[in-house]
Every structure is written in C-alpha cells, then in structure tokens.
Amino acid sequence: MSSCSGFAVAITGEITMFRKVLIANRGEIALRVLRALRDLQVLAVAIYHHDDRHSPVVALADEAVEIVGDSPTAAYLDTAQILAVCAELGVDAVHPGYGFLSENAGFARALAAAGITFIGPSPDVIDLMGDKITSRDFVTSLGVPVPPSITLAADTPQFVERAAELGFPLVVKASAGGGGKGMSIVRGVGELAGTLRVAASEAQKYFGDNRVYVERYFASARHIEVQVLGDGRNVVHLGERDCSVQRRFQKIVEESPAPGLSPAKREEICAAAVDIARAAHYASAGTVEFLYTDSGEFFFLEMNTRIQVEHPVTEMVTGIDLVAAQIRIAAGEPLALAQSDIAMTGHAIECRICAEDAFAGFLPETGRVLYVSAPGGDGVRFDSGLYQGQRVTTAFDPMLAKLIVHGVDREQALARSRQALAGLVILGVKTNLDYLGALLDHPVICAGAADTSFVGSHSAALTVPVPTQAQLDAVLALALCSDPTMKLLGAATPDLYTTMGHWRN
Amino acid sequence: MRPQYRINGCLHEVVPKRQGHTRRIGIDGRDLDVAQVAADQHRGTLIVAGHRYAYHVAQDDGTLYIHLGGRHFEVGIVDEFQAAGRHDADGDGDLRAPMPGVVEAIYVAVGDRVAAGQPMLLIESMKLQTEIHAPVAGTVSAINVEVGGSFQRNALLVAVAAASEEHP
C-alpha cells in the first residue's frame, strides 16, 4: 500500500478548499502534512528554525520562512511569529501537526481572531478534552467509566495523604499534560513527595499549570485507543490501535487491530469513543484513549485532539488519509463517510525509530546522520524527515522516523516488519533499530500478549543481541577496509604489502 | 603498527597481511581472506571466508558506523597514542552526566554538606526531567554547570568530597 487516498470526495457547491496552508511543525510530520496538501492541491508554507534549515520540508514547500527563538523549540511555539508569517504570506489555515501548538486553544483562538482556520477541533473542544480534569468529568457524565483519581495543586499540604488513600501503585501526571510528558509511577508513599516535586516542575514548565493529577495505576492493562473523525454533527470511528508497548509512557510500537480484543468488546469501546466525540460536537480527527484491564473492563484515559504520531497504522488498515480528512473537515466539508463505508483490511504495525540507547535505559543519543537508506517492499511505509548531515541534538524529541508495515494478517505484518527493520540503515547516531528487532522477536509480542508493563518487566530479556563470530569477523574486516588511516597506508605502500607478504612491526 | 578496533567495549586486533584483490587479514590471531566490492563510498558487498555480506558504512572522527547482516555496529578506531595516555581519575563523589542535556535547577552550593541520595540537580534531556542525587555523603566541592547551561554525556556536573570516616 503506497498511498492512502480512500477519503470519499463530497464537495458541495459552496465549499472551497484552502488556497494556502502553513505547516507549524518540523520533522516527519511536517513532511506528512505537506504530502496531504500536495494531494489536495493546496500551497504549503513551511516554517523552520535555523537548525532545521536543511530539512527536506524546507526545500519541498512552496514557501519557507525562518523563525527564531531562544531555543529551537521556543521558535516553533512562538504564536506571534507564526501569526505574522500567516498575515504576510496570505495563509488561509494552519496545520499544527502533533506536539508544539497542536493542542493549544489559545493559538487556535488567536488564529480565528486573525481570520485564519486552525486545522483541528474548535478551541472550546480543545479546552474541554485537553484538560484531564474537565474531560474526565465530561465523559463521566456520559456514563463512560474512568479510573479512580484525584486532582489538586501540588503544593496543597494534604496532597500526599489524599493521594496515598487511593492505594498504590499510582500514576502522577501533569493535569494539562499529554504525550507522556510529566508522568511517573509511584509505588509507595516514600516516593510520593519527590515525584510530586518533579511532576509539578514539569507541569509548570511545559503547560504553565502546576496542577497535578494522581490516578490509580493498573500494572497489567492494555492501552487501547480509538481513532475518530467528526465534522461537528456526525462522528465515525476508524477502529482501534493497541499502543501498549511503551517506555516512560511513550509509545514504541503500535498496531491495528488490537490483538486479544473480542469483536463485542471492540464494538463497545469504539461505540464509547464515538459517543464521547459526538457529545463534544467534535470536528476533526481525534483519538480517545482507554485502559483495558485483563478482567475485561475499560476506562477512559484521555482524548487527544490532534493527529497522532501513530495515525499511519489506521491509514494502512482503512485506506483513509487522516491528514487530508482533517484538512477537508477544517475547510467545512461534511463527513462523506458513514460507519458502514469503513472497512478494516489486514493488520498494520508501526515502530517508532528514536535516537536512544534502548538497551541502556533508553537514554537519548546525539550525533550526526551520515547515511540513511529506507527499506522497500510490499506494505512498507517509512515516514521520516531524516536527511544526511542532520544534527541530532537534545533540542527536540528523540523520535526520528516511523516504520509502518501492513500485512494480510498480524503474522505477515510482523514478518514484514522484522525484514524492513533489518533493511533500514541509519548511520552516525545510535538508534533503537536493533532493539525494535529484538522486541518483535519476543514471544510475548509474537503472541500479541503485551500490556503496558511489558517493556519494564521484560527488559532483562531484551539485551543487545550478541553477534555471531562470523558477523564480528565481517564487521572487523570492513572496519580495516574502511579505516581512513589504513586506506592511506594501503594506497601509499602497495608494493610493500605484496613483496613482504606479511606485515610486521 | 597493529590497528585495533573497539566493538561493544571489546578490543580487537586486525592486522593486514596480504594486499590484492583478495586480502588476507588476521583478526585476533586468526587469518581470513577478504574481498570487497564497493558500490560507492557507503555501501557494497564484502566476502569474508566465503560468506557474502551486504554492508553500509560511514565514518565520523574516530568511529565507523556499520550496518551488516541486518544490524548496526559502532566500531571505535583505537588511537594507540591516545589510548596510552588515558587514565581514569574519577573520585567516588564525581557526578557525571548520564546523558546530554540542560540544567533546570541546582539545589546545592559549593561547601554544602549533602547526604547520600540527596537531590542536587534537576536536569532535562529531550523533555525528560531527572533529579540527580548525591552519590556519597560529604561536602559539595565543585559545581561545573549553571542553570540553563547545557552539557554533553559524561560531563562532570558536580563533585562531592566524601565525608571522612571519623565524623565529629
């Protein structure tokens, strides 16, 4: 499957597609949005920090404008600069991608005030669903179950005692957070005060809001999320994704359909997601996240009001271009899909490729990308913004690219994923590619039995694969052939080698 | 001259023995015949002792990055002169950066007495905040970073002079 263009066209007379859209993001998602804009024949404006000036989206966009900031991240978060670029270039709409300004209601409102469309749900819906507390109250009112929890400002004196009353383990999150930032597990009362201090600091720093939310943590549960599309009146779901394989609450491997979910349970969870989105008059692509316990209960976790990193998994099984759908809905097109139009075909798996030492606690790695070679083959999609010469620094998230693989069934998707991972070459910075390879060979993953504790509880079994002697010999032989000093020596003294036959020192 | 390469912390000696279309090399004392067919500077085929391997390779400073047999390898080119002069002078109380990042907060000052495990710094790397704790009880003898400053992996952040045994 090389493209996903199955979104049904239903252009009524009065609706006009945007003429020019600004992509307020970087890396692989900026390129992904660019591809959707090209398909819709919409002009694309890229913004970039100096560090990203050589990135492919800058070269490929119709226009590209440099933005500045105290840090590269600050530049991409600078609403005023982005608004100025929009005004100057006559931009009709902004696609925020994920992260950065994607769930910032203030940004969406500022755009609206300037007559520019934010490609995403309305600011009120972002406020409602983006806050863990208001969204929880909202879904509870709809009769959807939520996990036991409390929320308080982190400096409230009885906080520790009240949190401890929920029982351990607990998960501490920034109330306004998302994407796994500012989350940690607390297993006993002794760790609670220290964890709250860090969580409050992170919450304040990333979200400007120090409220902390403490919830009962389910050690053995799956993370199941449902992709929805709404136009403000109608809502459909595009099935679910299982994103249980996580480290530090950030997903590593995602797949659709979720293994081990009965058809009845799938129906129930997807219907709950549709109910939530419909009640919120949701108009865009969105994701409703659930915890699914081994006793068959499910609890609402949160709703992400943006396009998600793992959206291609759903695109691969449904054939629907979610980013194009977001843009069409933002332009005012009604949803042209009924639930019965959506069919899931086969199985898709995404692996997130990150600059990190996955075998040593997932510590971030830095370096310079010296060479990249993407794998091909049936059902293989590589979403990447990588380029030769790119500096991988700590300024941004360590995710570099995504490998998404489709197969007729889970077994074929796994086999193709393993092959594609082995064929993907990234030289110059350490990545988790070999770790992902080991992960997909693990019996628990092969059986589709991983829950959210998998990475933590099976990390011992996932160690650096020991190379065979033959592999090691080949690597060392290649090292000698490629060592610049030895190449120089070899070129300078060819006769010496041949006449001596043996090199001594 | 005996070239040495480091893979996963292990040193290997690789000695060229005969030049030509097929080269003979000694790896850790064993002789092997090697033929290389380079497609370009980054990729090609290597035939080692009769086995064929598609490879990719790139070099940056003293490191060779290799992809072979579906796996990635980092190979350190050992500089014999540097290797001879290196020594490890770390004390028990030296706190080195576990990863590159930025200093978010410093909780202690030079001269402060700290208990083992006491939080000393809050660092951030790729959006992950981590508290750095005192490795030993003692007195803070040096702070080599400032709030907002960045550091590389393994940089010396803070040094603690361990408290003496006969504590008054």
Question: Between chain A and chain B, how many beta carbons pairs sit less than 8 Å apart?
Answer: 178
| Residue B168 belongs to some domain of the structure | no
Residue A213 DSSP SS3: strand
Q: Please report the pLDDT score of residue B14 as a whole number.
A: 94
| Residue B61 belongs to some domain of the structure | yes
Q: Where are the alpha helices (DSSP H) in A178-261?
A: 189-207
Q: Among A206, A434, A476, select the one facing B5 at the smallest CB separation.
A: A476
Same domain assignment for residues B69 and B105: no
Kindly report the number of other CB atoms within 10 A of residue A147's CB atom. Answer: 18
CB contact under 8 A, A473 and B36: no
Nearest CA in chain A to B78: A483
CB contact under 8 A, A485 and B3: yes
Q: How far apart are CA A292 and CA A265, in angstroms?
A: 10
**Residues of chain B contacting residue A398, judged by C-beta atoms under 8 Å apart:** 126
Residue B72's nearest CA partner among A426, A353, A359 is A426
Catalytic residue flag (residue A306): yes
CB contact set of A26 (below 8 Å; sequence gap of 6+): A48, A49, A52, A55, A57, A76, A385, A396
Q: Please report the pLDDT score of residue A473 as a whole number.
A: 97
Residue A79's nearest CA partner among A108, A50, A107 is A107
Q: Please report the pLDDT score of residue A421 as a whole number.
A: 97
Same domain assignment for residues B63 and B133: no
Q: How far apart are CA A39 and CA A33, in angstroms?
A: 10
Which of B53, B84, B115 is the last residue in one of the domains? Answer: B84
Q: How far apart are CA B148 and CA A49, in angstroms?
A: 20
DSSP A358-383: TTTTTEE--EE--EEE---STTEEEE
Q: Among A363, A428, A470, select the one facing B60 at the smallest CB separation.
A: A428
Are A282 and A232 in contact, with CB atoms under 8 Å apart?
Answer: yes
Same domain assignment for residues B107 and B76: no
| Residue B101 belongs to some domain of the structure | yes
Are A199 and A178 in contact, with CB atoms under 8 Å apart?
Answer: no
Q: Looking at residue A412, what DSSP letter applies?
A: H
Measure B101 CA to nearest chain A CA, in Å. 6
| Whether the predicted pLDDT of B151 surpasses 90 | no
Which of B84, B106, B141 is the last residue in one of the domains? Answer: B84
Q: Please report the pLDDT score of residue A185 as a whole number.
A: 83
Lookup: tokens for B19: 């030049």
Q: What is the ipTM of this complex?
A: 0.83
Same domain assignment for residues B72 and B112: no
Measure A495 CA to nearest chain B CA, in Å. 9
Hey, is the C-beta of A237 within 8 angstroms of any chain B C-beta? no
In chain A (505 residues long), the average pLDDT of successive 10-residue segments reads: 43 77 98 98 98 97 97 95 98 97 97 98 95 89 90 73 83 72 79 81 78 83 97 97 91 96 96 97 98 91 96 98 98 95 97 94 92 96 96 92 98 98 97 95 95 86 87 96 83 49 42
Are A107 and A80 in contact, with CB atoms under 8 Å apart?
Answer: no
**What is the C-alpha end-to-end distance of chain B, expressed in Å?**
56
Measure A246 CA to nearest chain B CA, in Å. 15
Cβ-count burial of B115 within 10 angstroms (0-12 exposed, 13-18 middle, 19+ buried)? exposed
Higher pLDDT, B114 or A487: B114
**Residues of chain B contacting residue A488, judged by C-beta atoms under 8 Å apart:** none
Lookup: tokens for A485: 């000093």
CATH number of the domain enclosing B148 = 2.40.50.100
For chain A, which domains are there? 20-123 (3.40.50.20), 148-216 (3.30.1490.20), 221-458 (3.30.470.20), 469-500 (no CATH)
**Residues of chain A contacting residue B153, judged by C-beta atoms under 8 Å apart:** 363, 366
Lowest average pLDDT, out of A234-238, A312-316, B90-94, B102-106, goes to: B90-94
pLDDT band at residue B81 using 50, 70 and 90 as cut-offs: low
| Residue B132 belongs to some domain of the structure | yes
Same domain assignment for residues B46 and B71: yes
Same domain assignment for residues B22 and B44: yes
Same domain assignment for residues B79 and B98: no
HSE-up (13 A, CA, CB side) for residue B50? 0
| Whether the predicted pLDDT of B68 surpasses 70 | yes
Same domain assignment for residues B46 and B24: yes
Same domain assignment for residues B11 and B76: yes
The total of structural domains in chain B comes to 2
Cβ-count burial of A443 within 10 angstroms (0-12 exposed, 13-18 middle, 19+ buried)? exposed
Same domain assignment for residues B68 and B20: yes
Same domain assignment for residues B21 and B80: yes
HSE-up (13 A, CA, CB side) for residue A53? 5
Average pLDDT estimate for B114-127: 81
Q: How far apart are CA A175 and CA A133, in angstroms?
A: 7
| Whether the predicted pLDDT of B164 surpasses 70 | no
Which of B63, B84, B105 is the last residue in one of the domains? Answer: B84
CB contact set of A94 (below 8 Å; sequence gap of 6+): A21, A22, A23, A24, A82, A86, A111, A116, A117, A118, A119
pLDDT band at residue B102 using 50, 70 and 90 as cut-offs: confident
What is the pTM assigned to this prediction? Answer: 0.81
Strand intervals (E) in A217-343: 221-231, 235-247, 250-256, 283-293, 298-304
| Whether the predicted pLDDT of B105 surpasses 80 | yes
Same domain assignment for residues B106 and B77: no
Q: How far apart are CA B100 and CA A384, in angstroms?
A: 24
Segments forming the whole domain that contains residue B74: 4-84
Q: How far apart are CA A159 and CA A385, in angstroms?
A: 43
Q: Which amino acid is at B58?
A: A
Indicate which residue of A136, A247, A306, A352 is catalytic. A306
Average pLDDT estimate for B41-53: 96
| Residue B137 belongs to some domain of the structure | yes
| Whether the predicted pLDDT of B153 surpasses 80 | no
CB contact under 8 A, B72 and A431: yes
CATH number of the domain enclosing B43 = 3.30.700.30
DSSP A90-142: T--EEE--SSTTTT-HHHHHHHHHTT-EESSS-HHHHHHHHSHHHHHHHHHHT
| Residue B167 belongs to some domain of the structure | no
